[in-house]
Amino acid sequence: MWRCGRRAEDGRVTEIVPGPQLSPLEFLVLLSALALVVARWLPPAVRPPVTVAAGALCVLSAGGLGVVGVRWQLWPVLAGAALVLPFAVVPLVRGRAGRPVRRARWWVALPGSVACAGLLAAGPVAAWAFPVPEFPVPTGRFAVGTRVVQWTDPDRPEAATPDPADRRTVVVQLWYPAQEGPAGARRAQYLGRTGPEARTVSAALARYAGLPGFLLDGVPAARGRAVPDAPVARDGGRFPVVLFSPGLGGVRTQNTAWAEELASHGYLVAALDHPYDSAAVVLADGRTVGTLVAATGDDATDEARAVATAGVRAADLGFVLTRLGELDRGAGGDPLAGRLDTGRAAVTGHSLGGAAALWAARQDHRFAAVVDLDGYPRDPDPRPFPQPVLALTQELGPATDPRYLPRLTGVLALGTATGYRLTVPGAAHLTFTDAPLYLPPVPSLVGSLGRTGGPRVTAAATLAFLDATLRHAPGDLPAALAPYGELTVHRPAP
């Protein structure tokens, strides 16, 4: 894997810039196939040994890939190798057998060499555009642990199913400050608890986005920085709690880099899967629940569905906060018992999850702060609420819904605490998720902040806000937020 990084003063990588991500076998296939293309243009005395060495290496490394598995990004490379190999090897074999060798004239061979070189170049380009995501190393003083729990609310029926006996169930992933483990500890699978679950979720995300599933086949191979079920950190006191709701069709892991960064700074992050509107939720009994929410093309119908879904999510967030409080008070020996400070809880979300967070804060004053990551407010009955709010938005332009900014501004004006709107230059809607780590760096899709710039800015601004509102850290919060974008401060009316 080719990459470069920027290191902090303590030597830890804080920003990783992936290059063309190729395994050693993939790199050998590419290098040997390229040598076969070049061999045609070498002097006659050099051509035979280069062709023999490159051909043998190409066949052996391609065979090795056949054993370990071939990513779709390498198919152009293998096609180019298969195309050039006979043209490079056959003349050599004929010459050693004493048979006449006919070599194509340069102006005939040149287009073929260019075509093969183009196929070979397509492989690294595809691997760069759709890499296996490499997660930034968290910068806090704690290592990070993670675990997944599933909770059922006995008081709420599941509105998405016809069976009145069904109760609302949510799957929650926790990231928490952990003890430093051994250097070789296996890190948590991205997108799921297991490889099969990760592949199921990846395929569902691709379908939801209208993409061929193979384009994201490298994402389930990724691992975050957290260690599953790692021992909870001995120090750090009681951890403030941060609840997170993903975007419509999103999943609990969509902001893993952000969650790991917060946990490394002493927060407990609880991210929710909302069954029937997350792309795929794998339940503890093995069932997979897909989304039932899809655009109809009718604005009024879609708006009504979005409002209803945000309301269900807001209730989910309040329920999970209750369960976290029970977990903290539990006498069952849970490692997190006595370590969760649900009196210092923030509710956060991306897109529709951000709308649900604002709604949950209005309904449930146990939440002490709100972070809305580019979420259009959906609450049909917005009223004054006491929590400070940080709203991070993408760079606004002609394509932005003209209702977005006035609606968000109106909601922030209702707060009886100071609210902050931070417009991040170069950000797109998906900038505030993990998507820049594994999608092509197309500005309209993931913004123009690079692979790790979006997650880094999102986490840094969130930490500055949470430290000020939940931990009452001294300092000037507007001054701390201003470096990350265009800041507008909404102070409560007298």
| pLDDT tens track for 347-401 | 999 999 999 999 999 999 999 999 999 999 999 988 999 999 999 999 998 888 9
Report CA dihedral (8, 12, 16, 20) to the nearest 10 degrees.
130
Query: At residue 12, what is the residue type?
Result: R
Q: pTM to 2 decimals?
A: 0.89
346: which strand partners? 242, 369
Of the candidate CATH numbers 3.40.109.10, 3.40.50.1820, 3.30.70.260, 3.40.605.10, the domain formed by 143-490 belongs to: 3.40.50.1820
Mean per-residue pLDDT of the chain:
90
Where are the alpha helices (H) located in 133-232, listed in sequence order? 195-209
Q: Which of 485, 493, 348, 484 is nearest to 412 (CA)?
A: 493
pLDDT score of 340 more than 80: yes
The confidence score (pLDDT) of residue 98 equals 58
The confidence score (pLDDT) of residue 107 equals 63
Average pLDDT over residues 180-194: 92
User: Domain extents for the chain?
Assistant: 20-129, 143-490
CB–CB of 411/379 below 8 Å?
Answer: yes
The confidence score (pLDDT) of residue 96 equals 64
d(CA 229, CA 242): 19
pLDDT score of 451 more than 70: yes
Average pLDDT over residues 51-68: 89
**Helix, strand, coil: what percent of the chain each, to 5?**
40, 20, 40
CB–CB of 448/424 below 8 Å?
Answer: no
The confidence score (pLDDT) of residue 243 equals 98
d(CA 483, CA 427): 14
Q: 171 in helix, strand or coil?
A: strand
The confidence score (pLDDT) of residue 492 equals 87
The confidence score (pLDDT) of residue 433 equals 98
Largest CA distance in the chain: 98
CB–CB of 12/136 below 8 Å?
Answer: no
DSSP state of 281: E
Average pLDDT over residues 75-99: 77
Q: Which helix (H) or strand (E) holds 216?
A: none
CB–CB of 143/177 below 8 Å?
Answer: yes
Phi, psi of 262 (to 5 degrees): -65, -45
* Between residues 218 and 255, the one the model is more confident about: 255
pLDDT tens digits for range 421-446: 999 999 999 999 999 999 999 999 99
Q: Which residues of 277-290 are buried (b: 16+ CB within 10 A; e: fewer)?
A: bbbbbbeeeeeebb
The confidence score (pLDDT) of residue 84 equals 86
pLDDT score of 176 more than 50: yes
Average pLDDT over residues 297-311: 89
Q: Which of 396, 397, 398, 402 is nearest to 488 (CA)?
A: 396
Assign 10 a pLDDT band (cuts: 50, 70, 90): very low
Helix axis angle, 47-68 relative to 24-39, nearest 10°? 150
Q: 145 in helix, strand or coil?
A: strand
Q: 183 in helix, strand or coil?
A: coil
Average pLDDT over residues 195-216: 94
The confidence score (pLDDT) of residue 6 equals 35
